[in-house]
Amino acid sequence: MTEKGTIFNQNVKQVAFDGEHRKRMMARYDFFTRLAEDCTKHYANIELEKSRAFNIRNKAFKYYDKLLVDFETNVVSNGGKVLWACNVEDAKQMIYNILNDEKSKNVVKTKSLVAEEIGLLPYLEMKKVNITETDTGDFICYQFDERPSDPKHSAAHKSRQEISEVFTNNFKVKEDLNARQLMTVTRKVLNDKYFKADTAIIGADFIVADTGDIIISEDEGNVLKAIANTNVHIVLAGIDKLIPSLDDINVLLPLSSLYEVSRIKAKSLCTILKPQKLYVVLVDNNRSNLMSREAQRNIMTCIECGACHAVCPVFNTIGGHVFDNAFPGPVGVIQSISEGYENSSHLATVCMSCHQCEQYCPMKIKISDLVLRNRIEIAKEDSSLIAERRLFSFLIKRLATRKDMDKTKDFLNRIELKQLIKKTWGMHREIPVFAEKSFSEIWREINNSEV
């Protein structure tokens, strides 16, 4: 097992048996399933709408080379600038250079999974940039010096009491605040930052090829406040966010908020951003590698509604912090293959194939099938699994016939099995014991036969 896999397993052991964590995650799961019951009532034919959404996103992948050029052309013609980041380091350096060139003194950042993916906030803080996280959930996680545990609900793993305690320490407010009071404190702290900000780093729901527009949806109004009070806007987006036409958001935006708490199945606020002083940093970071895989690239049609990890029994047991990327849960498990077999092998088994994620996915992505595809490729190619492949090859050969199985004594079989699996299976479970007599031996005894 790789070093990443070993660390992952250690973290899983630590959190999987945390009773309080499990209780909070299961309460979150129960809430989601109750909320999702009436979601289909908002559509005359939800399955048809899911198919339309998948076809829109899949169409973009087929013509990505042309659509990306169209997007850049339209952004530039509107007065903006597009920068292409091949990897994490390129993206961080580009953003830092922009901030230097623009002489940015106070920076606000809105919700962005790509920013989490590249580790932007710690990097800019290390560079002494005065930057503030403005998404409420991410802001709370920042107070605990933690990254978000859930792409959709960043601070879902924290209780109100924990948040109240850290707010009391950090902002000198009274103890044991209720949820409404905590939100009031958060807004007051962030409002001061908005008014002083000169630059905003923004995530994107979608980027539109035929207009060069940036589509941003939200509930809290943090993005609107950020862009209203700043002159320089830096949009950080993965190349997978591209859609062909502005008309496509009529289908995609409502589906992306299908499982929102609000009974109105759409985000409260939607912004179509056109340039004032706009920089768009498009991040690849192995996305083109994933697109080259005919099966796994379907996961890039994901619109980040949050349903898959909300119902995933594994995610609801171990949480998001044990994953070593910004996309925890089923989506991250599949996307990890783009980083190479050795970096994804420890995640390939993090799926029970219960298919609950597929039941709720608004894009009709066959998530369990894609996880299985990862497993097949990893089993064939990952050099760290040579020992396992030899083990199973040996076992298949040994179990092929009864004659081969009976070649050695029963006690030798038991010793042999222990030696083979004691470091993996035997660390966590009782090693199975061979029966003293095989079925064929018992059959011969009963029938007095030597055959």
**Residues 380-427 pLDDT 10s:** 876 666 766 777 777 777 777 767 666 655 555 666 666 666 666 656
The tokens for 60 are 């973009």
Please indicate, yes or no, if residue 346 is contained in any of the structural domains.
yes
Of 433, 432, 431, 443, which is closest to residue 402 (Cα–Cα)?
443
- For 184-223, the pLDDT digits (tens) are 999 999 999 999 999 999 999 999 999 999 999 888 888 9
pLDDT of residue 384: 62
Please indicate, yes or no, if residue 109 is contained in any of the structural domains.
yes
- Average pLDDT for 91-116: 95
Q: Measure the CA–CA gap between 358 and 172, rounded to whole angstroms.
A: 45
Please indicate, yes or no, if residue 10 is contained in any of the structural domains.
no
Please indicate, yes or no, if residue 174 is contained in any of the structural domains.
yes
Residues 217 and 152 in one domain: yes
Residues 218 and 314 in one domain: no
Please indicate, yes or no, if residue 32 is contained in any of the structural domains.
no
Give the end of a domain, one of 227, 253, 285: 285
Say if residue 109's pLDDT is above 70.
Answer: yes
Beta strand 269-273 pairing with 214-218: antiparallel
- For 141-182, the pLDDT digits (tens) are 999 998 888 888 888 888 899 999 999 999 999 988 999 999
Q: Which domain holds residue 56?
A: 38-285
Please indicate, yes or no, if residue 80 is contained in any of the structural domains.
yes
Q: Measure the CA–CA gap between 258 and 351, rounded to whole angstroms.
A: 24
pLDDT of residue 368: 92
Phi first, then psi, for residue 199 (nearest 5°) are -140, 140
Q: Which residues pair with 425 in a beta bridge?
A: none
Please indicate, yes or no, if residue 7 is contained in any of the structural domains.
no
Residues 345 and 267 in one domain: no
Residues 244 and 356 in one domain: no
Residues 368 and 443 in one domain: no
The tokens for 324 are 């070593």
- How many domains is the chain built from? 3
Residues 278 and 310 in one domain: no
DSSP labels for 243-272? ES-GGGHHHHHHHHTTT-SSSSSS-SEEEE
- For 302-340, the pLDDT digits (tens) are 998 888 988 999 998 888 888 877 888 899 899 988 888
Residues 273 and 170 in one domain: yes
Residue that is written with structure tokens 């958001």 in the block: 249
pLDDT of residue 127: 95
- Average pLDDT for 70-75: 95
Torsional sign, CA 190, 167, 309, 265: negative
Residues 352 and 428 in one domain: no
- CATH code (residue 206): 3.40.50.10420
Residues 192 and 334 in one domain: no
Percent of the residues in the chain that have a pLDDT greater than 70, as a whole number: 87
pLDDT of residue 218: 86
Which band of pLDDT confidence, cut at 50, 70 and 90, is reported for residue 263? very low
pTM more than 0.85: no
Residues 366 and 420 in one domain: no
Residues 6 or more apart whose Cβ sits within 8 Å of residue 103: none
Torsional sign, CA 269, 85, 240, 64: positive
Residues 233 and 367 in one domain: no
Residues 214 and 332 in one domain: no
Cβ atoms 70, 242 nearer than 8 A:
no
Cβ atoms 438, 406 nearer than 8 A:
yes
Please indicate, yes or no, if residue 49 is contained in any of the structural domains.
yes
Give the end of a domain, one of 356, 384, 412: 384
